Structure 1
Amino acid sequence: MPVAALDHVNVRTTDIAGTLAFYRDVLGMEVVPAPGANDITRSGWVLDTAKRPIIHVGSAELNYPSDGTHPFTPANGSGAVHHVAIACTDAPDMRRRLEAAGLDVSENAIPSINMLQLFAVDPNGIMLEMNFRDL
């Protein structure tokens, strides 16, 4: 099976400081800048105890690689969850499966962390980010 695990949840918000403070100060989680960022003013990764970034928090104003094909509208409640990310294997096979299902697929490469991302929307309108690491 090509899906190995849930990778992270992404929350896009107009309250970056308050959201990151909640995870850091209320839940006691570690917050670090996202790759390529020098601080947490526009985005941050919330780490689990194994130092894995399991919650990504980003400004609603940031441009995400998937915005061109799947525009984002800020919301509250569960609407603030932008996408669900899953760790996967075999990117070519996954792309074939998604396209065979008639889904629009967008792609983003992040060479600095050796990762390829595929984005598609499930039948319920939930965006999935499929991450392929160590390419």
Structure 2
Amino acid sequence: MPVRTLDHVNIRTPDVPGTAAFFRDLLGLKARSAPGAATMDQGCWMHDPAGHPIIHIGPVDAVYPSDDSFPFTPARGSAALHHVALECDDLPDMLERLARTGRLFVRKDYPPASLTQIFVEEVNGILLELNFRMGAQ
């Protein structure tokens, strides 16, 4: 099976610092600037005790690699969830599976995080980000 684990949850918010403070203060996660972000106000990743960035926080007006194909509409509550990311193996197999389904998807290579990403909507319209670590494909 190509899916190994849940990679992260992404939250797009008008208050990146306040959201980061919540996860830092309540859950004890460590905040670091997201790859490619000049400051934590432009993007913040919350890391678990093992150093994994499990919650990604970005401003609602940030440009994400999936936005051109899957436009984002800001919301509040559970609808503020932007996407669910899964860490995956075997990029060629996934590309073949997607080709067989005929489902629209977008591939983005993101060198700052050493990722190849596949963005695809599941049948209920939930955006999935399938992450393939460069070198582990």
- TM-score w.r.t. the length of structure 1 is 0.95
What's the CA shift string for 1:64-119, capped at 9, x where partnerless?
00001100000011111100000111112112212322211101112233210000
Aligned residues: 135
C-alpha distance in 1, partners of 2:67/2:47? Answer: 25
SS in 1 for 2:99: helix
Residue number in structure 1 paired with 2:113: 113
Structure 2, unpaired ranges of 5+: none
5 Å-filtered alignment, 1:40-55, equals: 40-55=40-55
RMSD between superposed Cα atoms in Å? 1.1
C-alpha distance in 1, partners of 2:72/2:99? Answer: 22
Residue number in structure 2 paired with 1:19: 19
Structure 1, unpaired ranges of 5+: none
C-alpha distance in 1, partners of 2:124/2:100? Answer: 18
- TM-score w.r.t. the length of structure 2 is 0.93
Letter in 2 for 1:124: N
Residue number in structure 1 paired with 2:61: 61
SS in 2 for 1:41: helix
C-alpha distance in 2, partners of 1:79/1:104? Answer: 22
